[in-house]
Structure 1
């Protein structure tokens, strides 16, 4: 058995240990975890891996070589386990440029699914900002352009529909992160028919289950889930608490996977985008897209257990 490992191998070993896999079978076992599940984008049928990567705060590292090197590992782990989506925004400081610089140096860079947003008012300002974002992310065509937090959405919808027809973007969408906007998101879905809608959803924040998920399904709109860990408050709620033994019945081996698998087990979730700047967290997040998914009874059990802690 191999006794010395490089940094990436050591990270993989720690995940395998969490999965209960023998370290002696490390290479073959990890190969079996090669690719996470995929779900179709309703407007096209294109398959999208169900776990992606958010870049708010985590990729806002400027020119720091040390931090950029670690983020390159994050991207490599995401790709190795089958992930594609990277979600950013001009709101996220240097994140767009960092994503563009790092992915340009990777041989799989063009195989990723790039998403960003327009976050300003006015048609001219919006066009200028989106062009700037595409330049920073080094994309001639953006996979997904979204209207960030619905800022001046009526103006930007017209631009995005035109850009999709012209081939400047492949898909367009709308986003927000608070429950109070869900009714507005639903109305836009019904009237404008975006390709994607991005919103908050988690094991303790389930307002979208009332009707937003159903509306997205009815009108053929893909869903991207933000705030999966509720800004970190879910981890604070379970700090010092042991994962229940029964969680392993659905291939759940960490609290992060517990929270993500609850989300991913909803049939109307297309992709979830937890943010991270740590390779081992990226592996843990991606592993939530592998193996058995909870059914409705198990989901209720998970939510009840968390509430009881």
Structure 2
């Protein structure tokens, strides 16, 4: 799998990871958890490492922590989670709980979820980074309407990462956020690369275009992910899934060639209109 540098550290991150919203919010039963363990195994075996979660995602953090412990694979994971509450002490308490659930003494990437009380949490994240409890800090959002505010935060705060929505039918981030991140050394993690899922469902019944083979794509999911990865500002994309076969399919998007500028334009015209 291809890897891209995190500008603030120079370390390389595999370009396809795994999101856990909804998909990892499950109970303790083997029928629910065994497939998720297989999802993580496929992620790692494919060369990926990023796993993104949040206290907002129900039981997902605990499930990830349990599965990594059971497979003794914490050292293979780039663990990203979030703080999603108001107030300094509430934020500290929540992050400590996340670390217990994830069964780790250090979080690779701690993000302020949807900018909730970001001015309060940022100093805490900076202090924890200096102390080595977290390695990287960032902010997240998932709606176009918040992009102006996100940009203002990026201009004010010193951050390692931005997590934002971007897809072939959701290209608003191309206007200012992605160029700003590229020009200012901020790594970018992409959520909702399938446009929230609706686009992928709509495309599933269509024949793959003739040019799919030119970039090594054998599925619509790979086409949509390679479109996102074609933007050089993007560091990693985190499609969520609970199915090992889908994880394997997604991971293949990180292998081989990516569309050039001409093909990117054609893809956007033919798929998103």
TM-score normalised by length of structure 2: 0.98
* SS of residue in 2 equivalent to 1:61: coil
Larger CA Rg, structure 1 vs 2? 1
Could you report, residue by residue, the CA deviation over 1:248-278 in whole angstroms, capped at 9, with x for unpaired residues? 1011110000100000111100000000000
Preserved CA contact (<8 Å) 2:181 2:188? yes
State the alpha-carbon separation in 1 of the partners of residues 93 and 76 from structure 2.
Answer: 26
* Aligned match for 1:75, one of 40, 51, 56: 40
In structure 2, the residue matched to 1:250 is: 215
* Aligned match for 1:48, one of 3, 6, 13: 13
1:182 aligns with 2:153: no
Q: 1:27-46 counterparts in 2 under 5 A?
A: 36-46=1-11
Q: 1:108-257 counterparts in 2 under 5 A?
A: 108-257=73-222
Q: Which moved more, 1:235-244 or 1:193-202?
A: 235-244
Preserved CA contact (<8 Å) 2:138 2:160? yes
Q: Which moved more, 1:107-116 or 1:52-61?
A: 107-116
| Structure 2: runs of 5+ lacking an equivalent | none
State the alpha-carbon separation in 2 of the partners of residues 152 and 211 from structure 1.
Answer: 23
Preserved CA contact (<8 Å) 1:160 1:172? yes
Q: CA deviation at 1:237?
A: 2.3
State the alpha-carbon separation in 2 of the partners of residues 70 and 236 from structure 1.
Answer: 22
Q: How many corresponding residue pairs?
A: 273
State the alpha-carbon separation in 1 of the partners of residues 183 and 263 from structure 2.
Answer: 26
State the alpha-carbon separation in 1 of the partners of residues 265 and 54 from structure 2.
Answer: 34
| Structure 1: runs of 5+ lacking an equivalent | 1-35
State the alpha-carbon separation in 2 of the partners of residues 86 and 186 from structure 1.
Answer: 25
* SS of residue in 1 equivalent to 2:31: helix
Could you report, residue by residue, the CA deviation over 1:60-88 in whole angstroms, capped at 9, with x for unpaired residues? 01212111111111111000010000000
* SS of residue in 2 equivalent to 1:91: helix
1:277 aligns with 2:242: yes
State the alpha-carbon separation in 2 of the partners of residues 250 and 94 from structure 1.
Answer: 37
State the alpha-carbon separation in 1 of the partners of residues 82 and 73 from structure 2.
Answer: 23
In structure 2, the residue matched to 1:292 is: 257
TM-score normalised by length of structure 1: 0.87
